[in-house]
């Protein structure tokens, strides 16, 4: 069995992608997020300078949403013409509850990505689920903010971020505990201090050199030793490392790996 794993596509599919595969796995960040990233980083820098945040208009927020939604749908539709596709979400996608909240906030109707992806033949969104494929156990972990990230990056709203991160981290720990043993774990962020150092030019200066990985994911790998772990998120962390018997691949932006099982 041949499985192709594609790192954070961000709206693009590599040329000459192998087609003789039985399954495609995606590490999240399916669509482009240029507008959303620009808006977010502008306000991160303004906070650091004690300036008021920019309040973007409903139309600007919808434009950023639709950039991600439309490019995500385009990528997954194309890949599903090659083979079945299992995907998780990164920090770009909107879950249905997030879409409802944003739609209410801006007073504009928005499409539901999860529903529309799931309607494509052969596509499964496996956030926080184990998918069995021809005898393989593949766990998909939804993106979350680990308390290790908050402690490492110390955002301006530290207390609120830490409180929310504690809830998300405990949920992720519970999901991984239910996964038990896996053949493959697909997650968005890397394990802590493994292929996770921030050095990107576009990142805020006070983020550079810090580790954006997850301690909870690292704990799971050390304990359960899946055969493979595939992630993305920290694009400049692209590469391969071993944690015990586990092969960990950060596939960066649109890099891919074919494995034979």
pLDDT for 99 = 98
pLDDT for 39 = 87
Split at pLDDT 50, 70, 90, the class of 185 is very high
Q: What is the DSSP letter of 146?
A: -
Q: Where are the beta strands (DSSP E) in 169-255?
A: 184-186, 228-231, 239-243, 246-250
pLDDT for 89 = 98
For the domain that residue 52 is a member of, what is the CATH number?
3.60.21.10
Q: Where are the beta strands (DSSP E) in the chain?
A: 2-6, 23-26, 85-87, 123-125, 129-133, 136-140, 184-186, 228-231, 239-243, 246-250, 256-260
Q: Residue 244 pLDDT more than 80? A: yes
In this prediction the pTM is 0.94
What's the pLDDT tens digit per position in 112-159?
999 999 999 999 999 999 999 999 999 999 999 999 999 999 987 899
The total number of structural domains that make up the chain = 1
Domain around 242: 2-260
Between the two ends of the chain, the Cα-to-Cα distance in Å is 5
pLDDT for 201 = 85
Region of residue 128 (left: phi > 0; alpha: psi -120 to 50; beta: else): left
Q: Residue 86 pLDDT more than 80? A: yes
pLDDT for 43 = 77
229 neighbors 246 (Cβ within 8 angstroms)? yes
Split at pLDDT 50, 70, 90, the class of 243 is very high
Average pLDDT value for residue range 68-90: 98
Average pLDDT value for residue range 167-173: 98
Q: Residue 240 pLDDT more than 90? A: yes
pLDDT for 49 = 76
Calpha distance 94→111 (Å, rounded): 10
């Amino acid at each position: 069995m041949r499985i192709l794993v594609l790192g954070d596509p961000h709206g693009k599919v590599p040329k000459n992608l192998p087609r003789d595969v039985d399954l495609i796995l995606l590490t999240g960040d399916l669509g482009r997020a240029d507008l959303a990233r620009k808006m977010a980083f502008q306000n991160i820098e303004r906070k650091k300078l004690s300036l008021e945040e920019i309040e973007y208009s409903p139309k600007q927020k919808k434009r950023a949403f639709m950039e991600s939604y439309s490019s995500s749908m385009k990528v997954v539709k194309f890949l599903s013409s090659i083979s079945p596709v299992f995907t998780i979400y990164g920090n770009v996608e909107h879950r249905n509850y997030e879409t409802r909240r944003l739609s209410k906030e801006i007073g504009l109707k928005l499409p539901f990505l999860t529903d529309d992806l799931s309607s494509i033949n052969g596509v499964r969104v496996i956030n926080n689920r184990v998918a069995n494929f021809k005898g393989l156990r593949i766990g998909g972990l939804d993106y979350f903010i680990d308390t290790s990230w908050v402690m490492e990056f110390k955002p301006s709203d530290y207390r609120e971020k830490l409180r929310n991160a504690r809830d998300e981290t405990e949920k992720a720990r519970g999901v991984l505990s239910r996964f038990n043993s896996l053949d493959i774990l697909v997650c968005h962020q890397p394990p802590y201090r493994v292929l996770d150092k921030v050095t990107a030019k576009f990142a805020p200066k006070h983020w550079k050199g810090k580790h954006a990985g997850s301690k909870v994911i690292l704990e799971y790998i050390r304990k359960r030793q899946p055969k493979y772990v595939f992630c993305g998120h920290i694009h400049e962390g692209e590469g391969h490392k071993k944690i015990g018997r586990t092969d960990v691949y950060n596939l960066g932006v649109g890099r891919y790996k074919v494995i034979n099982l």
